[in-house]
Amino acid sequence: MPVEREIDKPNDMVGALIQELNNLDKYAPVLPEGTELVFYKTEGDTLVLNFNQAFANLQGSTGEFIAINSLVNTLTELPQYKSVKLLVDRKPLTTGHAIYDKPIPRNESVIQK
């Protein structure tokens, strides 16, 4: 189910959106505890996010699915981005289930209306 929030338009919208995913008030945070965005950059219409090692601590396949889809679908709400590439310590995110070495496109099918 989508969560809608109003936030003041910050200078760094990407950072503000990731902060909201880390702190969802009455909802559990989407990202693993201790997750910090180290840097991000744009490569065409792809947003490349580099997180600290804590981001790799995704809890099981369901937690991984929720975190990644929430992150990608939230950030691709920004019109300039069509996909998101996930890095941990400058290397592609690797979990026990997958290696995320390609940009991940928006996944509308997981958004419940």
CA–CA separation, 104 and 112 (whole Å): 19
Prediction pTM value: 0.84
User: DSSP 3-state assignment of 93?
Assistant: strand
**pLDDT for residue 9 is more than 70:** no
DSSP-assigned letter for residue 34: T
What average pLDDT does range 40-49 have in this prediction?
Answer: 97
So what's the pLDDT on residue 68?
A: 93
**pLDDT for residue 94 is more than 80:** yes
Helix (H) or strand (E) holding 41: strand 37-43
So what's the pLDDT on residue 25?
A: 65
What average pLDDT does range 25-46 have in this prediction?
Answer: 87
What is the pLDDT confidence band of residue 15, given thresholds at 50, 70 and 90?
Answer: confident
So what's the pLDDT on residue 8?
A: 55
CA–CA separation, 36 and 19 (whole Å): 9
